[in-house]
Amino acid sequence: MTRRLNKLYFLLIITLGLFSCNKDFLNTKPLGEVSSEDVWKDGALTQAFVNNIYNGLGNGGFDEQMLASLSDEAVFTHTGRSINTVNEGSLSPSNTGWVSGTYSWSSMYSRIRSCNVALENIATATFDDQALKDRLAGEVHFLRAYYYHQLVRYYGGVPLIDKSYGLNEDYTIARNSFEECVNFIVKECDDAISALDGINMAKGRATANAARALKSRMLLYAASDMHDIPTLQSKTSFLSGYASPELLGYTSGDRNARWQAAKVAAKAVMDAAGSGYKLDLTAPVTPDQGRNNYMSIAMGGGSKAPGVDPAAASEIIFGRFFVAERDEGGSYQGLYNGPNGYHNWAGNTPIGLLVDDYEMMDGTKFSWSNSGQAAAPYKSRDPRLYASILYDGADWKPRDLISGNVDPANQIQTGQYDLKIGGNLVNFNGLDTRSSTIEDWNGSRTGYYVRKFIDPDPGIVDNNTRQYLPWPFFRYTEAVFNYIEACIELGEDAEAREWLNKIRFRSGMPAVTESGAALRDRYRNERRVEMSFEEQRYHDARRWLIAPTTLGRKITFISVLGKFKPGKELNGTYKHDESIYNYTYTPIIDENHEDRTWVDKMYFRPINLDEINKNDKLVQNPGYE
């Protein structure tokens, strides 16, 4: 042992002696780091830098707290998350409430700075692969456009920064006008299209058609009521005395030209992508086919559940994809939103206002004033309802996989029911209520649960199994909707109806026949239900200037009561059975969890006070000064 130690000491002395003679070892580069200069000398390192910029996309809309809960789609079940600060109209520059990292001011500008660094250095990069340089530059132009579009659709015009700042520079900069921001984003999209056109990109990376889709969305927003200042001023009063309306929209100009530009941009997406998923139908499919078509789209074609068509993956133009190698929040939607009776968290739960807006199968409106519909509110409805919402009595996954043999029927239970247990009549609280015997702290407050974006594969236990469904940043149907909307605003009703009916036929719904304002209303409702939970409604309600009657409405829940019919009873475990029970469904307005209030200043978010204090050239949005 002593001899071995002596040898080690000898080797150590020799080694130190060598180092004392040659001091170059002090200048060696850390093995785990790469200098900024070296990044742009190597194509792989440059691509790694660009890959990191994609992280600004986060989980897409698959975070635990969803934008749906800032709209009339859902309510966030849990308290203390600052969502009610927004929904109750009490947000301010010093208290902006919940802000997702996918659109916060600081997060977006951090990613924009990375884009600027990348574009400056790719232009002078010394590696030889010019095709790779061009492709990466195209991706960065798309990402910079996307991050700016996120800022613009929440805040209005923002400072346009297209260079990276060095030390000791003046970092203060004024906001650009809304029009200048739109033009910048469109130019970025055009640059991305030019660089990426014809390239077969890997899944999840920016493509030319993703850039077309972003351009289409931005031009649609630019043409909308919220960004036409004369229209905004005529329908609201919060701009009174505001000295910089150009930050929020167009103070003049030809709106028809803006709608025409939106129409052309949307059609470019459609033409580049082909016919879309099952949008070549001339008549409605069956209700079961319509439900499966919609479920397939929501799954991105990626579920193994019965009825899911893998071909529906073609619907996604640009998505956020999740893989088993990375443990990301976006793969836990089943846990986040699933029923508490399956040991899930019931986070974002649909509100009655959304459920009520799904039409009857014959295309008429659902109404609680109709006694027949009120007695059986979940029968003969738009097939998309059954692929999007879990309601009382809806079939769902095997409950015994996680919660024991307490529900052999595997049905959602959000009501109170008569039940015989041990020979005694009890008032049984459903397993998916907030009084559940399984979990009583995180059940739905609304009587509904999200089904869309939760893999219906009966073998997947959402509580402890991740799922890998893509988040659709842009899908083909959004471009079709953009095209329809522009056609309606341009008075081209026949063209709008043709495409609107293609979407309806795919879901099993009958054709619409309206024109003018009535067609616009049908279109808006169609977009609402088709794009539910996809981060569309919050922006649509604002840009259409209908937020007071949509986002600002009080939350509606559903109360379900099941009473034994005369001479009937059920013993042991409960199941939904209309031969045994008389069911009563009562819509309830709730103001306790969230007292939703719309204030017109909320058409635009406030710029955080810290940003205003750091940059004295920033002008605050109206109502927050």
**Whole-number pLDDT of residue 301:** 87
Alpha-carbon distances, residue 571 vs 173, 235, 417, 432, 565 (angstroms): 71, 58, 12, 19, 14
Please answer whether residues 279 and 285 qualify as being in contact, where contact means their C-beta atoms are separated by less than 8 angstroms: no
- Average pLDDT of span 403-416: 95
Mean pLDDT of 269-277: 94
Please, is 297 exposed, middle or buried when counting C-beta atoms within 10 Å of its C-beta (0-12, 13-18, 19+)? buried
390 and 449 Cβ atoms separated by less than 8 Å? yes
In the predicted model, is pLDDT for residue 9 greater than 80?
Answer: no
Query: Mean pLDDT throughout 167-194?
Result: 96
**Helix, strand, coil shares of the chain as percentages rounded to 5?**
45, 10, 45
Q: What is the mean pLDDT of the chain?
A: 94
Average of per-residue pLDDT across 175-192: 98
d(CA 215, CA 77): 35
Beta strands in 521-620 (DSSP E): 555-564, 581-590
Q: What is the pLDDT of residue 36?
A: 79
Please, are residues 343 and 403 in contact by the beta-carbon 8 Å criterion? yes
**Quick one: average pLDDT of 110-134?**
97
Give the whole-angstrom CA distance, residue 530 versus residue 294: 8
Structural Rg of the chain based on CA atoms: 28
Can you list the positions of beta strands (E) in 309-413?
Answer: 316-320, 348-350, 389-390
For 117, other C-beta atoms within 10 Å of its C-beta total 18
Q: Whole-prediction pTM value?
A: 0.94
Structure tokens at 5: 């130690």
Residues 303-324 have pLDDT tens digits of 999 999 999 999 999 999 999 9
Cα separation values, 84 from 39, 139, 150, 464, Å = 44, 37, 22, 29
Q: Checking DSSP bridges between strand 74-76 and strand 348-350, what pairing results, if any?
A: antiparallel
Burial 528-537 (b: 16+ CB within 10 A, else e): bbbbbbbbbb
Q: Mean pLDDT across the stretch 536-556?
A: 97
- 543 touches 217 (CB < 8 A): no
Task: For residue range 468-509, list pLDDT tens digits in order.
Answer: 999 999 999 999 999 999 999 999 999 999 999 999 999 999
Q: Return d(Cα 42, Cα 127) in angstroms, integer.
A: 6
The dihedral formed by the CA atoms of 528, 532, 533 and 539, expressed in degrees to the nearest 10: -20
Contact 105, 384 (CB under 8 A): no
**Beta carbons of 416 and 561 less than 8 angstroms apart:** yes
The pLDDT tens digits of the residues spanning 573-621 come to 999 999 999 999 999 999 999 999 999 999 999 999 999 999 999 999 9
Task: Determine the pLDDT at residue 14.
Answer: 34
Coil, helix or strand at residue 205: coil
SS3 422: coil
Query: What is the per-residue pLDDT for 513?
Result: 98
Q: What is the mean pLDDT of residues 378-382?
A: 98
Using left for φ > 0, alpha for ψ between -120 and 50, and beta otherwise, residue 508 falls in: left
3-state secondary structure of 558: strand
Residue 258's alpha-carbon distances to 220, 355, 484, 490, in angstroms, are 8, 34, 14, 10
> What are the tens digits of pLDDT across the range 10-25?
333 333 343 344 444 4
What pLDDT is recorded for position 68? Answer: 98
**pLDDT band at 28, cuts 50/70/90?**
low
For the chain, percent of residues with pLDDT exceeding 90: 91
pLDDT of 15 reads: 35
Maximum pairwise Cα distance, the chain: 101
Residue 448 near residue 351 (C-beta atoms within 8 A):
yes
Q: Going from the N-terminus, what domains does the chain have, and what CATH number goes with each?
A: 40-246+605-614 (1.25.40.390), 247-321+470-545 (1.25.40), 336-463+555-590 (no CATH)
Helix (H) / strand (E) containing 214? helix 208-223
Q: Where residue 29 falls among pLDDT bands split at 50, 70, 90?
A: low
Packed helices 130-155 and 178-196: angle between N→C axes, nearest 10 degrees: 150
HSE-CB of 470 using CA atoms within 13 angstroms: 23
